[in-house]
Chains A and B, each alone.
Chain A
Amino acid sequence: MAVEGRMPLAYSAAITVVCGAAYGGALGAWTSPRLAVYAAIKVPLLLLLTATITALLNWITASLAGLPLRFHESVALTVMPLAIASLILASCAPVALFFAKSIPPPGEGQRTLHNVLYLTHTLLVAGAGVSGTAFLQNALTRHCGGDAGRASRIRRVWIAAYALVGGEIAWALRPFVGSVYLEVEFLRHDALHGNVYEFIFTDILPNLFRSLR
């Protein structure tokens, strides 16, 4: 059903909520059960907010690329890859939970571990997202009357939109993994200060390379 791009919107949204919550629970479990509950609420929220914010842009870019979708079709196509991504993430939840429960808990001496965990989850989410858009490619090709090249161009723009918007919303909704210094809270008081890319390139990676040297 998903391959043909006919996954109903409510069905996609329900998968996103349930599977996103399962993965979120495993994500936050490293720090504390409270963060596990918060992350179980925030991961589906992150995915659905990303879909909501990118839906209009995706509809416009598809139209500009010569694919006049109806808006509700565009919304359904926007949510579908995120639903598949959340399904992939949920399948990795037992593994994520096992790691969360078997590695040392957060503490000042666990900064490197935190950084490795953070990057691993970031890569996992990115990989799941890209896999989800493989289905989008099939659905868009069908909508484009078999023109795979045009579908591929639209898909690339949509991936960029997901990455930019999703990254920033994830940053605003932090913490997910937790922090080795800060207390657990639902949202940080400086939620809209900075962005995820700045954090990865100015904090996570430099610290990781320093600790590896």
Chain B
Amino acid sequence: MTIFSTMNKLLKSPDASIENGRLRSAQSFEFLAGAILCYAAYAAAAGTFQAGGASIALAILKIPMIIIASVALCVPSFYVFTAVAGADHSARDMATLLSAFCGIAGLLLLGLMPVTWVFSISSRSLAFVVWMHIVVWLIAIVAARHYLVRLTGSRFGLAIGCWITIVFLVSLQMTTSLRPVLWRAPNQPLFTRAKMSFFEHIGEVWTWHESKATAQVVKGAPR
């Protein structure tokens, strides 16, 4: 219940994570756990694009992994960018800020989940759903950026904006590295070893066709 009440508080009064001008570090774990639950719920909706429980499980496994790994990889840059802008965050402050960022992004994804679910179950184009998820993810992290700026102060706006851009790019490449996420051909392994850049991956998604993609995997072409 603690996780839900903390997330509820984060949703209704985001500033409640500040107490006497300091961040309340005790909530980091709840924010992060709540965020992962939100990502999993969003992933379950996203996984309905390809009918079947296996594809939902695949999305639930990978989408939280993509987001958490991307943010984790950008922790050093968050610390240095905000420090260069004049912040003096302790490790606890950093943990609270970043977990609250993940929490806000998660809540927004949860809010948009019904919309993505409707489109996921009815769409047949992978390109459409991929672009939809990119736009939804952008909305979530831009809103979470506003929250971070509200917590830290407007003078950190530029530094946090640069950091968000890096997180966004890393999340695109992380998705490519952990593919397949939304659609998996029969007998395709859970993780792909072949290296690929995210813009090449997006280009491939753009020309995607289910029967062609299945045939490529059956033939053993790298994907």
Please determine whether B197 and A103 come into contact, CB atoms closer than 8 angstroms. yes
**With an 8 A cutoff between CB atoms, is A91 at the interface?**
yes
Produce 1/0 per residue, B135-178, CB < 8 A to A: 00000000000000000000000000010001001100110110
Please determine whether A104 and B79 come into contact, CB atoms closer than 8 angstroms. no
Please determine whether B86 and A98 come into contact, CB atoms closer than 8 angstroms. no
**Total contacting residues, chain A, CB less than 8 A:** 22
Are A116 and B199 CB-contacts (below 8 A) given A94-B73, A94-B76, A102-B173?
yes
For residue A91, which residues in chain B have a CB less than 8 angstroms away from its CB? 76-77, 79-81
Q: How many A-B residue pairs lie within 8 Å, measured between CB atoms?
A: 57
Are A3 and B197 CB-contacts (below 8 A) given A87-B80, A91-B80, A127-B162?
no
For residue A90, which residues in chain B have a CB less than 8 angstroms away from its CB? 76, 80
Please determine whether A92 and B77 come into contact, CB atoms closer than 8 angstroms. yes
Please determine whether A105 and B77 come into contact, CB atoms closer than 8 angstroms. no
Please determine whether B170 and A3 come into contact, CB atoms closer than 8 angstroms. no
For residue A116, which residues in chain B have a CB less than 8 angstroms away from its CB? 197, 199
For residue B174, which residues in chain A have a CB less than 8 angstroms away from its CB? 98
**With an 8 A cutoff between CB atoms, is A113 at the interface?**
yes
Bound-state Cα–Cα, A80 to B195, Å: 38
**With an 8 A cutoff between CB atoms, is A95 at the interface?**
yes
Nearest CB of chain B from residue A99's CB, rounded to whole Å: 6
Are A104 and B76 CB-contacts (below 8 A) given A88-B81, A99-B173, A127-B162?
no
Nearest CB of chain B from residue A189's CB, rounded to whole Å: 30
For residue A177, which residues in chain B have a CB less than 8 angstroms away from its CB? none
**With an 8 A cutoff between CB atoms, is A84 at the interface?**
yes
- Name the residue on B nearest A92 (C-beta): B77
**With an 8 A cutoff between CB atoms, is A131 at the interface?**
yes
Residue in contact with B173 in the complex, picked from A98, A105, A131, CB distance below 8 Å: A98
Most buried by B among A91, A99, A134: A91
Please determine whether A131 and B76 come into contact, CB atoms closer than 8 angstroms. no
**With an 8 A cutoff between CB atoms, is B115 at the interface?**
no
Please determine whether A95 and B195 come into contact, CB atoms closer than 8 angstroms. no
Please determine whether B176 and A95 come into contact, CB atoms closer than 8 angstroms. no
- Name the residue on A nearest B74 (C-beta): A95
Are A88 and B197 CB-contacts (below 8 A) given A3-B86, A102-B176?
no
**With an 8 A cutoff between CB atoms, is B196 at the interface?**
yes
Nearest CB of chain B from residue A142's CB, rounded to whole Å: 16
For residue A99, which residues in chain B have a CB less than 8 angstroms away from its CB? 170, 173
- List 5 A-B residue pairs with CB atoms under 8 Å apart, sorted by A's residue number: A95-B73, A95-B166, A95-B169, A98-B73, A102-B177
Given A94-B77, A102-B177: 10 more A-B contacts, CB < 8 Å: A88-B84, A90-B76, A92-B166, A99-B173, A104-B195, A104-B197, A113-B197, A116-B199, A127-B162, A134-B84
